[in-house]
Amino acid sequence: MSLRAPATRLLQRSVATSALGNASRSLSTVAARGRDATSSSPSSSAPLRFSRSGPSSAPARAFSTTSPARDFESPFGVNSLAKFTEEEEMLKEAVRKFANDVVKPRVEAMDEAEKMDPEVIKGLFEQGLMAIETDAELGGAGCSFTAAIIVIEELAKVDPSVSVLCDVHNTLVNTVLRKYASKHIQEKYLPKLASDTLGSFCLSEPSSGSDAFAMKTSCKKQADGSWILNGTKMWITNSAEAEFFIVFAQGDPSKGYKGISAFAVEKSMGVEIAKKEKKLGIRASSTCTLNFDEIKVPAENLIGEEGKGYKIAIEILNEGRVGIGAQMLGLAQGAVEKSIRYAAERKQFGKAITQFQGMQFQIAQVLMEIEAARVLVYNAARLKEEGRPFTKEAAFAKLYASQVAQKASGSAIEWAGGQGFTRETGIEKYWRDSKIGAIYEGTSNIMLETIFKLVEREMQLK
């Protein structure tokens, strides 16, 4: 992975912004170190020998929970999924700092107001977190997919609403353009999406959710090659603040899913943002209905080929599902950390409640399940990066991480007793936020169906 020079510039921009300064300085260093890293291969560092432990094995690197993981390079070229590149480690630390310094103080107010603070969106852009995989020439950071997953996880530890805003913008909107749009459309929109324009991904409709390709929104080609869009999209994340939309529409119902095309649509083309949903969780993340009434879209704004919208949506949602897995993973971690810290301070029967075996066993069980979710999420991310099939693993990651998030955040409330049940501690918010993991970007049943279909194919059962 390399962070290129324009990424450094982008990330450095916010140094002047006092609240964001430290995190931004770290990201600039990430960029600089990333460039250095490309010139020295892992094999150029001193070889490390395998050793279980013990003084006699020094200076060989022992497997140890206390040694910094980044020092270790397997002589076989195989590492654990917890092994991140130095740049990824630094990015993680910088995002953690941004989330704690900038997002955390605003979480409760944003949830109560059911509104994203514009300063948070501005901060995400200034930090270079809204174009993580976009090429540096187009204003992005030029980072890996795993880097995007790290960012989504870290943000979710503090606020899953902020995390999904960043997730949808990066893994769905930017990625559709990066992978399928013409060079002209990429050059027109990606720099804006990297600097100040928020994007939405518009697939679902009132009558087509799980059966997404039964959509009714229509696209009609005009004699001059332009398109007219009509219809309604529902449940669209980021849509209250977005200025740019990826829209899927049906051009010929007789062709079924092969009649669907994807378009790059600007709000200024006439998109009407209608009802904003009042939700159980991720309340700061906007979810609205959108109306398209005779919207004229230029021919050049067709993304990919006519009739290939289905393929685009299917492929992109695999990446998106790893992103939701990361959101749920971060959420679970954030909830239990908050609760365990409280429980370690809280005394009953003369000692901290974490000193009771009944509590210790529950905590250990949940932490193990979070770790299992982490392995599934990062395994899917690395498979994607390696260009291997990852549809089943993405479904595993999303399904399991959302189950773990729900259980972990529910347990976190119980571990904090009455305090966990109040809105002041912020623990109950994680549980409310966790419910969405089983619904968007494919419900849990749809994940199970996807997994079984793939297994059926692998085992040649049909």
Ligand X SMILES: Cc1cc2nc3c(=O)[nH]c(=O)nc-3n(C[C@H](O)[C@H](O)[C@H](O)COP(=O)(O)OP(=O)(O)OC[C@H]3O[C@@H](n4cnc5c(N)ncnc54)[C@H](O)[C@@H]3O)c2cc1C
Q: Which residues bind ligand X (CB under 6 A)?
A: 168, 201-204, 209-210, 235-237, 279, 287, 436, 439-441, 443, 445-446, 449
Q: Is the CB of 84 or the CB of 244 nearer to ligand X?
A: 244
Q: Is the CB of 183 or the CB of 462 nearer to ligand X?
A: 462
Cα 147 to Cα 89: distance, rounded to the nearest angstrom? 9
Q: At 255, list the tokens.
A: 């062709």
Give me the least distance between CB of 254 and ligand X, in Å please: 23
Q: Is the CB of 189 or the CB of 235 nearer to ligand X?
A: 235
Q: Is the CB of 430 or the CB of 440 nearer to ligand X?
A: 440
Cα 294 to Cα 206: distance, rounded to the nearest angstrom? 19
Greatest alpha-carbon span in the chain: 81
Spatial contact of 323 and 149, defined as CB atoms under 8 Å apart: yes
Look at phi and psi of residue 455 and say left if phi exceeds 0, alpha if psi is from -120 to 50, else beta: alpha
Q: At 284, list the tokens.
A: 């700061």
Which candidate in 114, 241, 441, 456 is catalytic? Answer: 441
Instruction: Supply the DSSP string of 133-160, one letter for each residue.
Output: SS-GGGTS----HHHHHHHHHHHHHH-H
Q: Cα angle vertex 398, ends 204, 232, to 5°?
A: 5
Among candidate residues 423, 407, 381, the one with its CA nearest the CA of residue 171: 381
Give me the least distance between CB of 77 and ligand X, in Å please: 39
Give me the least distance between CB of 117 and ligand X, in Å please: 19
Annotated catalytic, 119? no
Cα 272 to Cα 292: distance, rounded to the nearest angstrom? 7
Give me the least distance between CB of 355 and ligand X, in Å please: 40
Q: Is the dihedral of CA 33, 36, 37, 38 positive or negative?
A: positive
Q: Is the CB of 2 or the CB of 443 nearer to ligand X?
A: 443
Q: Cα angle vertex 182, ends 178, 184, to 5°?
A: 105
Give the HSE-up count for residue 238: Cα atoms under 13 Å, Cβ half-sphere: 26
Q: Is the CB of 1 or the CB of 438 nearer to ligand X?
A: 438
The residue at minimum Cβ distance from ligand X is 209
Per-residue burial over 260-298, b if 16 or more Cβ lie within 10 Å, else e, is: bbbbbbbbebebebeeeeebebbbbbbbbbbbbeebebe
Give me the least distance between CB of 285 and ligand X, in Å please: 7
Q: Is the CB of 37 or the CB of 439 nearer to ligand X?
A: 439
In whole angstroms, how far apart are CA 117 and each of 244, 279, 328? Answer: 19, 17, 22
Give me the least distance between CB of 291 and ligand X, in Å please: 15
Give me the least distance between CB of 392 and ligand X, in Å please: 17
Catalytic residues: 441
